[in-house]
Amino acid sequence: MNKKLCILFICAITLCVASVQKSSADEKGAGCGIGKVILEGRTGMGPHIAAAILNDILVPRSTFMSTATSIGQPVLGCDPSQTVEKEVEQNIFVAENMDTLSKEIAQGGGLHLEALADMLGVADADKPNFFSMTQDNYSELSSHTSSTKIISTIKLSMAKNDSLAHYVQ
Amino acid sequence: MSKIIFFLCRLASVFLFCVQIEFFTTYLYAQEISSIDKALSDGNPDQAVSLSKESSNHYLSQLIELAIKRKLSSSSQWHTLMHYKKNFYGKLESQIDGEDFFMSKSGKTNPELELHATLAGFFSQVTIPSNNLTTQCRYVARYEWLKKELQFDPSKLPESDCKEFNIFKRGFRASGFSVVFPSSHPNSPGSMFGHTLLRADRPGQTEATRMMAFSINYAAIADQANVSSFIIKGLTGGFPGRFALLPYHLKLREYAQMENRDIWEYSLNVPTEKVDFVIKHLWEIGPTYSDYYFFTENCSYLVIALLDVVYPDDPMTNDFKSWISPVDTIRSLIARNMVTKISYFPSYYKIIKARQNLISDTENKLALNISLAGLIPHESHFNSLEDSRKVLVLDMAYDYVKYDRFSSSKEVDSKLNTIEKELLLKRSKIKIPSVHLDINPPEHDPTEGHLSSRVELDYGKMDSKDLLHLGWRAVNHDWIDPPQGFNDDSMLEFGNVSFRLFSEEGKNNIRINKIHIIRIENMEQWNRFFRRFSWRVTTGFESFNAKIQDDHLGYILRGGPGLTYRFGNILLYTIIESEIAVSNEFSRGYNVVSGLATGVLGTYFNKWRFHLYGRVMEPLESNFKQSQTVEFIQSYSFSKSVGIHIGVKGYKLLNKWHNEAVAGINLYY
């Protein structure tokens, strides 16, 4: 009798463990381009993240997105209509990737930082300089939480740097 | 004189009569036009179409007539734009399900009426409810094509300025496409077959700036259903599928969370002038939905359906008869010489493993400790390191913290926690750039793997009985299949059926050997940091040798957790396994067994694979089911499509040992 209970017990545990899968987000995008206004009445991780991160960017809904969100579950996504302006595109990039950018700035380079450099027009030859400059300014940059402030701080530092100043004229 | 007056009167009356007719016909003409216009302004294109077929005075009638003459509604371009396919009954039906996609009430099943209603809609300023755009400004691809085919006269059909679409198009800045394939991992069954999405690449794009490009992703909008309803709905079109657009950097962030997903990017040679047309069609189809079918009208199907609009004469969607796996859609693109470059980006998991290889065991332990408690408790040890080693340890520790955060929560939070801040601040003060990790891509990309389905034909003996074994597997991969393009530490099978034909005392018996619905096995190497258990699950029907003469099929669910260690090409695993079997053969109607399985898996030269294992199980009802099993299977692959295998198995039943040996061929198609 004891042996049977034991077997049943092991069985229950092993099958439970085997059948619990780590549930993944399954292609739901992080919120992007949805400001605080749209957060109201919506649940789910996207709008909350969007509101928390994009607290200084209020991007209106676009035609492509608004239709998709009017039926059933909101589909969270950015829309090219919203990032037509390069500044908005840069802001969303920095806001949503702040941790990766911080890491790359501290480490003296990385792919996301390189993408930011490209967006600011920095030529390949000047990139090592750009990475070095941002690393030097890590403390100041990491004290800001707003993407617009971070970008403007970077631009200010570039203006003070001989080889990078001409990019921000 | 009176004759002249009489004649003049006659002339006048004829003239008046003609004028009356003239007025009357003009009145009728105006009535016709105005009734068509009224139907248009009422937002009733079907009625406008049927009215215009009764006359030829409205420009719409002329366009419809020309469209009929040129047989436009049966052209392949129209069918790709409307996604018309032959349904189960052989009738044409659009695969798009949202009503707002059709201008005509019968548009879903009638290409001709839909085309005519679309033409009618172009005349109207009435907006379509789902996104408040006029027909011209919503159906921009249809408009472009019909305008070209029918040579619209702008004085009779004025062209609208579609501001919203123009902004949308400008935001894309697209000049080409890539298909992105995040590979699957067994830990995430929803990603079982991988996934594909399209990315709209920009001119002069680099590896870094590719992150700004927009990804075009089709996915099921699944509510938080429980697992079984998720499976049922996903298979039977119970969820709507929609397109969503995200800058690629956000997609990459998602995949960093699903740590085991390597990313393969296949750049396509779609010419720039065709890219615009695809974007136009995306605009048309974006606001609507299509029922999502996991095996057929899934993410990768819609990606190629989108591309089909620019290759209407040879649509890729016609390459597929039954189920569609993402890898197969990429194979289709490669077969058409559309792929110009293949790029590989390792998963976060692989990045961490590569970093672990750069440091010593002690340094790794230090990094792990720092990631858990911060720098201060380990200051003295840390400070004793050289700067270059400090950098490696800090980078490792940071990755550990980040990975833990990603895997322990669903949220993609980009705020740094205290330890991360401390580590990065310290790191920023050491002016040595971080080591660039050189992670070699696998020798073969996923498309070079064997094809999903397999047929096996074996000859063998079970005890003294001759047998023929015939098996068929629907999809995916097994321990003895050719390894190229797959991970060697996991397997996934869906639909594995086999029969055995026994020849015994002159009689031939055919029996179902097994019907496996799903089998997933994940033998990941145990890692000090990842601490991942291995596990496996099988469910389906198997035949039980209850008493020697009888064979019965019963339902089984079997699985359990374990540990795996890797030694080069060998994986050594131990699994604690349990099985529930349901069958009338059991006195209770079910039986339960639990026990231990241990085995060795090996892969050599990409050709030879073997699996040797032993299993001991204690059944609840002791007369039943195999209680001890030893099996050794090995296979040799001649190519991706043909292989041979040999298997020997011994099992104990009712205190008696039985033997089985089979040898045969595997064919992949």
For residue A120, pLDDT over 90 is answered with yes
Q: How far apart are the first and last CA of chain B?
A: 102
- Categorize the per-residue pLDDT at B259 as very low, low, confident or very high, splitting at 50, 70 and 90: low
Question: With an 8 Å Cβ cutoff, are B433 and A68 in contact?
Answer: no
Chain B interface disruption, residue of A2, A16, A27, most B CBs within 10 A: A27
Question: With an 8 Å Cβ cutoff, are A109 and B414 in contact?
Answer: no
CA of B192: which chain A residue's CA is closest? A26
Residue B8 has a pLDDT of 85
What is the mean predicted confidence (pLDDT) over B280-299? Answer: 84
- Categorize the per-residue pLDDT at B390 as very low, low, confident or very high, splitting at 50, 70 and 90: very high
- Categorize the per-residue pLDDT at B227 as very low, low, confident or very high, splitting at 50, 70 and 90: low
Window 284-343 of B, Cβ < 8 Å to A: 286-289, 299
Put simply, whether B170 touches A (Cβ < 8 Å) is yes
Closest CB to A7 among B190, B416, B618: B618
User: Which region among A19-28, B41-50, B254-263 has the lowest average model confidence (pLDDT)?
Assistant: A19-28
CA of B256: which chain A residue's CA is closest? A100
Put simply, whether B245 touches A (Cβ < 8 Å) is yes
Q: Which residues of B22-52 are buried (b: 16+ CB within 10 A; e: fewer)?
A: eeeeeeeeeebbebbbebbeebbbbbbbbbb
Question: With an 8 Å Cβ cutoff, are A64 and B620 in contact?
Answer: no
A-B contacts at Cβ under 8 angstroms = 248
Share of chain B above pLDDT 70, in %: 93
- Categorize the per-residue pLDDT at B366 as very low, low, confident or very high, splitting at 50, 70 and 90: very high
Q: Structure tokens of B298?
A: 């899934």
Window 149-168 of A, Cβ < 8 Å to B: none
Of the candidates B645, B666, B224, which has an alpha carbon nearest to the alpha carbon of residue A23? B224
Residue B253 has a pLDDT of 81
**pLDDT tens-digit readout, B582-591:** 887 777 788 8
Contacting residues of B for A142, CB less than 8 Å apart: 416, 421, 424-425
Residue B136, CA distances (Å) to A111, B121, B126 in order? 41, 7, 10
Q: Average model confidence (pLDDT) for chain B?
A: 87
**B494 contact partners, CB below 8 Å, separation of at least 6:** B192, B474, B475, B476, B517, B518
Residue B258 has a pLDDT of 63
- Contact at 8 Å (CB) between B441 and B450? no
Q: Structure tokens of B182?
A: 């995040």
**pLDDT tens-digit readout, B308-331:** 999 999 999 988 877 788 888 999
What is the mean predicted confidence (pLDDT) over B61-83? Answer: 96
For residue A11, pLDDT over 80 is answered with no
3-state DSSP: chain B helix, strand, coil percent, rounded to 5?
35, 30, 35
For residue B162, pLDDT over 60 is answered with yes
For residue B27, pLDDT over 90 is answered with no
Residue B190 has a pLDDT of 52
C-alpha angle A12-A14-A17 in degrees, rounded to nearest 5: 105
Contacting residues of A for B410, CB less than 8 Å apart: 23, 25, 45
Window 52-81 of A, Cβ < 8 Å to B: 52-53, 62-64, 66-68, 70-73, 75-81
For residue B250, pLDDT over 80 is answered with yes
Put simply, whether A4 touches B (Cβ < 8 Å) is yes
User: Which region among B161-175, B360-374, B524-538 has the lowest average model confidence (pLDDT)?
Assistant: B524-538
Residue A24 has a pLDDT of 33
Distance from the Cα of A39 to chain B's closest Cα (Å) equals 16
Contacting residues of A for B138, CB less than 8 Å apart: none
The answer to whether the complex's ipTM is over 0.85 is no
Contacting residues of B for A18, CB less than 8 Å apart: 535-537, 559-561
User: Which region among A146-160, B371-385, B651-665 has the lowest average model confidence (pLDDT)?
Assistant: B651-665
What is the mean predicted confidence (pLDDT) over B423-436? Answer: 92
- Categorize the per-residue pLDDT at B154 as very low, low, confident or very high, splitting at 50, 70 and 90: very high
- Categorize the per-residue pLDDT at A74 as very low, low, confident or very high, splitting at 50, 70 and 90: very low
Put simply, whether A29 touches B (Cβ < 8 Å) is yes
Question: With an 8 Å Cβ cutoff, are A18 and B212 in contact?
Answer: no
What strand order describes the sheet that includes B263-268?
B290-292, B239-247, B214-220, B197-201, B176-182, B263-268, B339-345
| More confident position, B42 or B30 | B42
For residue B362, pLDDT over 90 is answered with yes
Q: What are phi and psi of B195, to 5 degrees?
A: -155, 150
